[in-house]
Amino acid sequence: MNRSNETSPMLGFILLGLSAHPKLEKTFFVLILLMYLVILLDNGVLILVTILDSRLDTPMYFFLRNLSFLDICYTTSSVPLILDSFLTPRKTISFSACVVQMFLSFAMGATECVLLSLMAFDRYVAICNPLRYPVVMSKAAYVPMAVGSWKAGITNSVVQTSLAMRLPFCGDNVINHFTCEILAVLKLACADISINVISMVVANMIFLALPVLFIFVSYVFIIATILRIPSAEGRRKAFSTCSAHLSVVIVFYGTILFMYGKPKSKDPLGADKQDLADKLISLFYGVVTPMLNPIIYSLRNKDVKAAVRNLMAQKHLTE
């Protein structure tokens, strides 16, 4: 491509968002704002409860606390930008802000994939090898596991973001998305992006395929162990300890697979509708999933519900 058409990314980018659908913007502004407030409240309460209640000082709730903190960070890196785009017809984002937003999005997404696989391993040991659980999942083991998941996610983000931001960009730097989503940014590049594609494929294998395979194998062993429990009550109690995590995994990976696995439309009108659908699915993935995580764990976990009730009771006593 002629490099005379190349523009400096330092001038920033323009985020289209839902500018082609102005009637939807006000509705989604209110909806996303309410969801964001619910995310902050629910995940904040879950973090507070798991810290204050000594009965929840276990590996599973330590991982859950990390997951809630991660969800707050992930949504905070994108939702304020999305809300602003609903109020501004042509939202311009600076190059440095785009880099930060892309970095945080990548880091949080990759870390969550690893965290969910660690939580599956925790449930596997608890159900399949309960006698060894205190040794295998000791504090000296599960804290480095969580730290490693954050390090892995941040390392992947540094690689992907630096490769993307080294590219030259062409045209008027218009990103057809709510945020600096990597695939939308790469479409603006006027250079070969094969290295970026290869690195993303490798990252997807490491942070998507391998965790999914690990979680699947873990639950094969978990279900096999549960089915060998003689009493129905014993099977119910065993399954209840991992049902919340399984629900979160299905929502998280189900949305990703649907978002990237559906066929592309060749019809121009269908392509416009698909473009809108892609943005809304991305919105669901970025907002609804973090909102559902604490709700799922609260509804399906009697220990969390009991801890929340105790916290509320203590608050009333101090008033």
9 phi and psi angles, rounded to 5 deg: -65, -15
Residue 91's pLDDT is what? 73
Q: State residue 263's pLDDT score.
A: 55
The radius of gyration of the chain's CA atoms, rounded to the nearest angstrom, is 22
**Are 266 and 164 in contact, with CB atoms under 8 Å apart?**
no
**Stretch 141-162: mean pLDDT:** 95
Q: What's residue 5's pLDDT?
A: 52
Q: pLDDT per residue over 92-150, tens digit each?
A: 888 888 889 889 988 998 999 999 999 999 999 999 999 999 999 999 999 999 999 99
Q: What is the mean pLDDT of the chain?
A: 83
In this predicted structure, the answer to whether residue 30 has a pLDDT above a threshold of 70 is: yes
Cα–Cα distance for residue pair 109/107, rounded to 1 Å: 6
Residue 6 predicted with pLDDT over 90: no
Q: Name the amino acid, one letter, at 182.
A: I
Beta-bridge partner residues of 7: 169
Question: What is the Cα 217 distance to its own chain's centre?
Answer: 22
188-213 pLDDT tens trace = 888 888 999 999 999 989 998 999 99
Q: How confident is the model over 295-306, as a mean pLDDT? A: 72
What average pLDDT does this structure show over 300-308? 69
In the chain, the DSSP E strands lie at 6-7, 13-15, 91-93, 169-170, 174-175
Q: Token match 């965790």: residue?
A: 211
Q: pLDDT at position 52, please?
A: 84
Average pLDDT over residues 268-288: 68
* Single pTM value for the model: 0.86
Tell me what pLDDT residue 69 has: 94
Helix (H, G, I), strand (E, B) or coil at 53: coil
Angle between helices 139-165 and 59-76 (to 10 degrees): 20
Q: Check residue 168 and give its pLDDT.
A: 85
Q: Per-residue pLDDT averaged across 63-82, rounded?
A: 91
Please say if the pLDDT value at position 269 is more than 50.
no
Alpha helices in 129-231 (DSSP H): 133-136, 139-165, 182-186, 194-204, 210-227
Could you tell me if residue 12 is left (phi over 0), alpha (psi between -120 and 50 degrees) or otherwise beta? left
Chain-centroid distance of CA 142 in Å reads 21
Looking at the predicted structure, is the pLDDT value of residue 247 above 80? yes
